[in-house]
Amino acid sequence: MDEFTNQDNQPVIIQKDLFTNHCHERFGNICNLASTIANQSRTISPEICRACFRTKFPADANEVVLAVAGVKESESGPGTTLKKLISWFVEKPADCNCANRVKVMDAWGAEGCLKNMPTILGWLRDSAHRNGIRYSEFVIATVVKTICRSHQVVNWFYPPQENEDGQPSP
């Protein structure tokens, strides 16, 4: 147990690992989800784990996990392309974690998205079922693969440019 004070400076006792003991993405001091997104091991503290559980989408691709994974904002990538395509046919569900998942896919790039295809298809399948949207694994997999292949071709012809700081040029 840890002791903290509330706004009135009254002592409040909190069970130390209330959130961290229940996270299926935490293994010791490693966040499996952030590590998968970053493609390398990401160490977390109990405070980071608690912050993750306070978000709208705990133990999912939320703002805390994206920060731990080191995901930077991007205005293009497979996730952005998929989002634009899907928005032509389906209105974004109110309870969707789409924006964070788009960031994850953009950070993974085409090769990472192909490698993590089961995860992406799971996100889309779960969202479709939760919102009563018709879903075909074959069609969606074909669309995602086609988007990834098109990004691979674009990157082959026009590789991303970096400035002196090693950051992508606009």
**Residue-wise pLDDT tens digits, 51-104:** 888 888 888 888 888 888 887 767 788 999 999 998 888 888 777 788 888 888
- Domain edge (last residue) among 46, 69, 92: 69
Residue 46, pLDDT above cutoff 50: yes
Residues 64 and 22 in one domain: yes
Q: Are 64 and 135 contained in the same domain?
A: no
Alpha-carbon distances of 108 from 15, 82, 103, rounded to whole Å: 36, 14, 9
Burial 112-146 (b: 16+ CB within 10 A, else e): bbbebeebbeebbeebbeeeeeeeeeeebeebbee
Per the structure, the complete domain to which residue 132 belongs is given by 78-157
Q: Which of 24, 51, 69 is at the close of a domain? A: 69
- Both 108 and 42 in a single domain? no
Are residues 87 and 51 located together in one domain of the fold? no
Q: Is residue 61 part of a domain?
A: yes
Together in a domain, 52 and 95: no
Of 69, 96, 126, the position where a domain reaches its end is: 69
Residue 163 is assigned to a structural domain of this protein: no
Q: Is 164 a domain residue?
A: no
Helices 137-157, 117-130: axis angle to 10 degrees equals 130
Does 12 have pLDDT greater than 80? no
Same domain, yes or no: 87 and 114? yes
Residue 153 lies in a domain: yes
pLDDT of residue 11: 54
Q: Contact 100/62 with Cβ under 8 angstroms? A: yes
Residue 120 falls inside a structural domain: yes
The verdict on 28 and 58 lying in the same domain is yes
| Residues 88 and 51 reside in one and the same domain | no
Classify residue 162: in a domain, yes or no.
Answer: no
Identify whether residues 21 and 91 lie together within a single domain. no
Q: Which of 150, 170, 36 is nearest to 85 (CA)?
A: 150
Are 91 and 62 within one domain? no
pLDDT in tens, 113-146: 999 999 999 999 998 998 888 899 999 999 999 9
Same domain, 88 and 152: yes
Report residue 55 as tokens: 């978000």
Residue 11, number of CB atoms within 10 A of its CB: 8
How many structural domains are present in the chain? 2
